[in-house]
Amino acid sequence: MRAFLKFITSYPTATVLLVVFIVFSGAYSFLHMPVDLFPDLEVPVVNIITHYPGAAPEDMEMLVSRPVEDEMRTIPGIKRVASMSVQGLSLVTAEFSWGTTVRDARQLVQARLARVRNILPQGVRPRLENIDTTLQEVSGYVFYGGGDPVTLRNTVSHAIAGRLMSVEGVSSVDVIGGDRQAFIVTLRPEALAWFHISITEVITALKRHNLTAVAGFIERSGKEYLIRGDARLKTLEDLRSIPVTRNREAPVLLGMVAEVQEGRVPRHYVVRGDGVPAVALIVHKQPGVSTIDVVRDVDKVLLGLKDLLPEGTTVKKFYDQSEIILESRSEIVQDLFVGALLAVLVLYFFLGDLRPTLIVGITIPLTLLATIAVMRSLGLGFNVITMTAMALAIGMIVDDAIVVAENIFRHGKTTSDPKEAAIEGAAEIAGPDASGTFTTVAAFIPLIVVTGIASLFLRPFGLTISSALVVSLLLSLTLVPLLFSRSTKALTQQEGFLGQRLLWFVHGRLQTILKFSFRHRAAVIIVALISLGGAGLLAFMGKAAVLPPMDEGAILIEYIMPPGTSLAESDRIGEILDRIALQDPGVSCVYRRNGSPENGYQIEGVNKGELLIKLRPKTERSRSAAQIIESLKRAYSKIEGCVFLYHQPTQEKIDESFSGLPALFGITIYGVDTEKLAFLAGQVENILSSDPAISNVINNTKVKASEIDVRLRHDRLALYGLEPSEVLYALQAARNGVEATKIFRNRQEVAVIVKTDPEYASDLEALRKMPIGTPNGSMVPLEQIADIRIRNAPSAITHINGQREVTIIAELDGNIQAVVSRLKDRLRSVSLPQGYSIEISGQYNVVIKTAFEMLLAILCAVVLIYFIMVMQFGSWSQPLIILVTIPIALVGAVLALFITGHSLDVSVGMGAVTLAGISVNNAIVLIDYCNKKVLSGMGIAEALMSAVSVRLRPILLTTFTTIAALIPTAIGTTVGSRIFQPFAITVIGGLITAVIATVVIVPVLVLFTEKSKAIS
């Protein structure tokens, strides 16, 4: 090592070139790094969404969900298949084993869907969606006002969306809401009966007369002419002129049996912007491109297209992911600079001289630039995870430079040659310095055993911090010795400054404490054990979660009304919610949707509504998102008959990806019969409601959806010579209508919808009397050929791995393990029929699995750290003593989390892993120095006292610089810092008790073991 340091100090050109390379490569990478909200979330889950308007849940289950999920379950590597069938909608979720890429998963699903398409109902087209595509929603806009909703939708769909698709980085643009033009053919049943024409014949005639064909080519005068036959329908007059029948002397034209006029396509969903009818436009970006760039370019293009919109149109943005990123980036960079400044101030306070402080401080920007270059080479980008990791690493990356600088500083007292002091000081400390860095890096290696979506956050975090630490070690052993060797003044010792006086004070008190502890070794060990037991109890009693809450500057509110609630009633309640939200001065825009568009990936029925509330920037509002949510909760709680769920938009998508449920806790009952499942769900609901730690219990089976069941009687159909399809067409035509064909004109599709007078099915009595034309020209009431009754049916039918189930979700308050244990005992009182079972579901299982994997990762990290220290010390016992700092550090971490009221989550687990690596660093340096003193002939007790005395300043320096750098994140003001606020609190609390373990407990244990050896 000395030879290497002599080369570095004698030939500084190599180090200078390294610094120049770091600066330029880091700057280039910084300018070309993609910026996103989160890392690429390669979650191997594919949702298959199918719309079949008007179909009952049982029909959706049998005709769509069953065939699709049965096919999905045959795919190799499939882990779980779940389905939900509601009115007109089917959602099948295929979850693959971790390690399967989303691209491969989608290809496998598409290949299997091709097999079942022929057995699905005609016109049904499944659509694929996964979490990564939903997180690629980067911006959303509402357009309202401007008069005719058909014109507005056409303009947005064709003129606006088409131009936005050409923006670099945009993958798709969804348009929902507004109205679509249609040609409505309203049949007169009495006319059909007079001419003996069925509805089927009308539909067939419309299709048969709307055709095109290419006949070939004709060559003439050296030119080739295409022969194109065109029988397409274009106008209302074309429709009226269609002959419905052929086998007559005079053809019967459509205009003779129907009214043909312009209208609108029936729509069974509602979109509102700021409480008025609106068209919504949602932009998706391509994976790997910068969200900020895409949204900026989309906004720029959209601004230039406003003149194309109808006069009076208002355009407002209701979601902007780039705003979250920009705000987070700005505040994370601010946290980074504040943390770096605080760390440098701590350095100056304890060193008392500006020159050595600047030498150590210059390693911070260089390390960050080098880390950015390494991140880009590893395929990482800027997001709240990696940017916050860099901010958190500030305090750690100066540790290496501090340890080396302080040792060089100390050697400067014994020699006047700065070069010699730099070489000897750096060489002496290089081994323990590198060992300390590698123990920290080793702590992140076991994170590869963590699976699930948590691993997608842990790996970029671990790679970023590990890269920074390795770079900082390299700079501390090259640049720092070089700069000290070139500056005599940097080694000049200042005396009597405030930091030194504080060190003298702490040193004096610490020596007294050590002497007392050496005399009462057993008492010190007992106190340490008691503190461990207390911390374990606090950890067990604490709350648990997967991810900490975030403030995204937007609020997502779902409201659920009883199954069977009409769209009009759901919209009426939504209007009340809109008005309340818009009255809040912190709200800038409210987007609401009830029901689901047929071409979308939304899966809500009309009894459910979703409000996406965009908040004003933090500088323009006085309250946080959490405070606004609490205000809305108080106002909305006065509305009866609704259940409300409150989320942050992005976090809700992530939470659902964990378990398929937007809740931490649920109880799932498996069985066959829906009635028995509903009965058991009622018993489980009573058990949950009686527990004081459980609230907001949602049992979707409690209220049934009402439906009118028209059961055709085949004997009566035969009597009147009717086909079932003819009667069913008549039913459809009386309400929604039947889409017979489409007409293409002016770049838009115009549906041709065949209907009858809606008065024929305006209520139950009218439905019974609805006339059905027979082949002989007479009319027969529907009730004569069908049994018509009202019945209650399940509002939703759900499966997991092919088995029917119902899930009751709830919110927990308190220790989740204790509540679950209590519930398991109570659930045993439920008498289950044969073939039925109950299990705990929701994110709870993910929390338990993640906690187990994090614990396994920590244990693996401890083992790796132990073997690194064994190689460093050549001893098996001393590393075991040093490892004691890890559990003592965790005592401080648990106590800090308890005081601040934070739950145990992935962020806390990452903090614990980090503590396992950094809490041993100071003890390594301490024991290494002690060993050298013992080898020189000093007694063990004196050597320990001397080691603590000499290493006190670097111990306090490394600890307090790390704590200082973490303070901005611990305060938590941004999305990124909110995610890692528990991490920062965990590390700060752990470092405080780790110092006590390093300077008191470790020396006591070393002395205790040495005395024991001597006695034996």
- The DSSP secondary structure of 217-250, one letter per residue, reads EEEETTEEEEEEEE----SHHHHHT-BS-SSSSS
Q: Is residue 345 part of a domain?
A: no
Residue 894 lies in a domain: yes
CATH code of the domain covering residue 118: 3.30.70.1320
Q: Give Cα separations from 265 to 12, 53, 736, 798 (angstroms).
A: 77, 13, 9, 30
| Alpha-carbon gap, residue 343 to 325, rounded angstroms | 26
Helix, strand and coil in the chain, % to nearest 5: 55, 20, 25
DSSP code of residue 555: E
Q: Indicate whether 814 and 959 sit together in one domain.
A: no
CA dist 157 and 308 (Å) reads: 12
Cα–Cα–Cα angle for 979, 983, 984, nearest 5°? 105
Note whether 407 and 439 are same-domain residues.
yes
Residue 47: beta bridge partners? 93, 129
Verify that 691 and 737 share a domain, yes or no. Answer: no
The pLDDT, as a whole number, for residue 678 is 87
891 and 837 belong to one structural domain = no
The residue ranges of the chain whose pLDDT is under 50 are: 658-662, 976, 1014-1016
656 close to 842: Cβ distance less than 8 angstroms: no
Angle between helices 816-827 and 674-689 (to 10 degrees): 130
* 461 and 435 belong to one structural domain: yes
Q: Are residues 561 and 512 in the same domain?
A: no
Here the CATH number for the domain that contains residue 533 is 1.20.1640.10
Do residues 301 and 392 share a domain? no
Question: Can you give the pLDDT at residue 1015?
Answer: 47
d(CA 195, CA 636): 57
Of 734, 762, 794, the residue at which a domain comes to its end is 794
Whose tokens are 């690629």? That residue is 136
Q: What is the 3-state secondary structure (H, E, C) of 383-413?
A: CHHHHHHHHHHHHHHHHHHHHHHHHHHHHCC
Q: Does 37 fall in a domain?
A: no
83 forms beta bridges with: 92, 799
pLDDT at residue 548, rounded to an integer: 58
Three-state SS at 774: coil
What angle, 0 to 180 degrees and rounded to 10, lies between the N-to-C axes of helices 885-900 and 975-996?
A: 130
> What's the CA gap between 81 and 91, in Å, rounded?
10
How far apart CA 808 and CA 827 sit, in angstroms, is 13
- What is the value of pTM for the model shown? 0.76
584/631 Cα distance (integer angstroms): 9
Residue 296 within a domain: yes
Question: How many whole angstroms separate alpha carbon 539 and alpha carbon 929?
Answer: 35
Asked if 559 and 676 sit in the same domain, the reply is yes
Q: 808 and 731, same structural domain?
A: no
CATH value at residue 684: 3.30.70.1430
Would you say 143 and 315 are in contact if contact means Cβ atoms under 8 Å apart? yes
Same-domain status, 513 and 603 = no
40 located within any domain:
no
Q: Does a structural domain hold residue 411?
A: yes
Cα 92 to Cα 662: distance, rounded to the nearest angstrom: 16
pLDDT of residue 164: 92
Together in a domain, 509 and 391: no
Burial 500-539 (b: 16+ CB within 10 A, else e): beebeeeeeebeeebeebbeeeeebbeebeebbeebeeeb
Q: Does 336 fall in a domain?
A: no
Q: Is residue 239 part of a domain?
A: yes
* pLDDT computed for residue 492 by the predictor: 59
Strand 212-220 to 608-615 pairing? unpaired
Contact between 189 and 756 (Cβ < 8 Å): yes
Decide which of 489, 523, 541 is a domain's last residue. 489
For residues 549 and 555, what is the distance between their CA atoms, to the nearest angstrom? 12
Distances (CA, A) of 96 to 49, 136, 564, 656: 17, 21, 34, 15
Structural domain that includes position 730:
198-214+228-256+706-794
Q: Per the structure, how many domains does the chain have?
A: 5
**Residues 860 and 956 grouped into a single domain:** yes
DSSP 8-state assignment for residue 148: -
Last residue of a domain, one of 324, 344, 360: 324
